[in-house]
Structure 1
């Protein structure tokens, strides 16, 4: 099972000091967080994509390419690439380049985002969000898999004799996750193609995530990709830790109360009861995270949000130390216990390459 962190890249005032980092500081701090995530033994770092203030990750592959040069092992992903408003040709090119730069440490999470104005900013009609998603992804798959693409759709100009350059590393496209908080259409798209489904499990109650993952698993099996238990599932999560639980609550409360997304709404205690947010000791984070398996089944990837709402870099790095040293080692052991043999591991470039060579012996280097 893979463990990691994702960022939304918000530039938010620290409510305890009144200081707001510059955009430059926030971008550079994101790089430091990714490097620290590798240092503490995490498997994945992912960034969102936003094109409006107060967010800075408008060019995820630029950021991830820079991080690739400063890391050696960690897998680099997006926590949203906007499939509905980005051109699929450019997505295919950018992620193929990133694959080569990172030597295969790349996958991608596709989604529609949650900012309505982004559609006209990129010349798209939000009323066609679902058809755009379906058509763009169908083209993206072909661009990564076919040497020459002739294509015609309804949402963009046709392609004639188009060849992607560079081709995906080793002929293996990046593994695709489809991310969603509330859209069953996204779960269906992931299931139809046999891709991964990432339920961004940070705002809604467990019952909602259980339904979304259940739909995906059922449809994965319906489309003939294997038993529902073999579907590839990822979850988001949100934590703040100190060794003493009450210290964590006291320190995090002003950040929660003033957070751009959920501030000035439910209390910290109510939100923690109703959603997967965990504020407390490492042991409490372990217990609550292990409970996710009770309603989504055995899954493959767990990402945590830890650097939002104005939290200073020093605090985020301390959180990563706790996550890497005290939480993830226990989660790895406990999630592995009693895991059925038929539940697949999270796909990586190397595992996909091995599978391709086993399926086509002519591709093996020694044949």
Structure 2
């Protein structure tokens, strides 16, 4: 099972000091977080994509390419690449380049985005969000898999004889996760293609996440990709830790109360009771995270949000130390216990390449004879 962190890249004033980092400080801080995540033994670093204040990650592959040059092992992903407002040709190019730069340490999470004004900024209509998702992704898959693409759709100009350059590393496209909080059509799309489904359930109760994941698993089986338990699932979550849970609650409360995403709403106590947000000791984070399996089944990727709402970089790096030293080692052991042998691991470039090569070798093997 993979464990990692994701960022939404918000530039938010620290409510305890009133100071906001500059955009440059926030971007450099994000690089420091990714490097620290690798240092403490996490598997994945992921960044969102946003094109409006107070967020800075408008060019995720630029950021991830820079991080790739400063890391050696960690998988670099997006926690949203906007399949609706980005052109699929550009997505295909950018992630192929990132694959080559990172040595295959690349996958992608596609999403629609939930900021309405972004659509007209990129020449699109938010009322076409689902049709754009379906059409753009169908084209993206072909661009990564076919040498020459002739294509015509309804929401984009046609292509004639288009060849992607560079081609995907080793001829293996990046593994695709489809991320959604609330849209069943996205779970259906992931199931149809046999891709991964990422339920970023930081705002919703477990009952909602259970419904979305169960839908994806059922439809994964329906389309012939395997049993429901073999579908590839990822979950989001958010944590804030101190060794003493009362210290964690006291320190995090002003950040929660003023967060640009969920501040000024339910109390911290109400939110932690109703959603996966965990504020407390490392042991409490372990206990609540292990509970995700009760409603999501055995899954493949767990990403935590740890740098939201104006938290100082020093504090975020301390969170990573706690994750790497006290939380993830326990989660690895406990999630592995009782995990059925036929539940797949999260796909990586190397595992996909190995599976492709094994298929080719099997196809080339001579037929057995009776002699």
> What SS class does the counterpart of residue 291 from structure 2 fall into?
helix
Q: 1:343 matched to which residue of 2?
A: 343
Question: Structure 1 residue 118 and structure 2 residue 97: aligned?
Answer: no
1:207 and 1:316 map into 2 onto residues whose CA distance is 30
1:186 and 1:290 map into 2 onto residues whose CA distance is 25
2:285 and 2:201 map into 1 onto residues whose CA distance is 14
CA contact (8 A) 1:6 1:47 kept: yes
- Residue ranges of structure 1 left out of the alignment (5+ in a row): none
> What SS class does the counterpart of residue 237 from structure 1 fall into?
coil
Q: 1:10 matched to which residue of 2?
A: 10
1:111 and 1:149 map into 2 onto residues whose CA distance is 24
Q: 1:291 matched to which residue of 2?
A: 291
Deviation at 1:62, TM superposition (A): 0.1
Instruction: Tell me the TM-score normalized by structure 2.
Output: 0.97
Q: Which runs of 4+ in 1 moved over 6 A?
A: none
Deviation at 1:29, TM superposition (A): 0.2
2:109 and 2:171 map into 1 onto residues whose CA distance is 19
Question: Structure 1 residue 23 and structure 2 residue 23: aligned?
Answer: yes
Deviation at 1:111, TM superposition (A): 0.3
Q: 1:361 matched to which residue of 2?
A: 361
2:139 and 2:309 map into 1 onto residues whose CA distance is 37
Q: 2:368 matched to which residue of 1?
A: none
> What SS class does the counterpart of residue 177 from structure 1 fall into?
strand
Q: 2:54 matched to which residue of 1?
A: 54
Question: Structure 1 residue 311 and structure 2 residue 314: aligned?
Answer: no
Alignment of 1:1-367 (within 5 A): 1-361=1-361
Residues 194-250 of structure 1: per-residue CA shift (max 9 Å, x gap): 000000010000000000000000000000000000000000000000000000000
- Change over 3 Å in CA distance of 1:251–1:185 after alignment to 2: same
2:360 and 2:230 map into 1 onto residues whose CA distance is 22
Aligned length: 364
1:84 and 1:308 map into 2 onto residues whose CA distance is 25
2:275 and 2:27 map into 1 onto residues whose CA distance is 29
Deviation at 1:362, TM superposition (A): 8.2
CA contact (8 A) 1:306 1:316 kept: yes
Deviation at 1:363, TM superposition (A): 9.7
Deviation at 1:273, TM superposition (A): 0.1
CA contact (8 A) 1:357 1:363 kept: no
> What SS class does the counterpart of residue 57 from structure 2 fall into?
coil
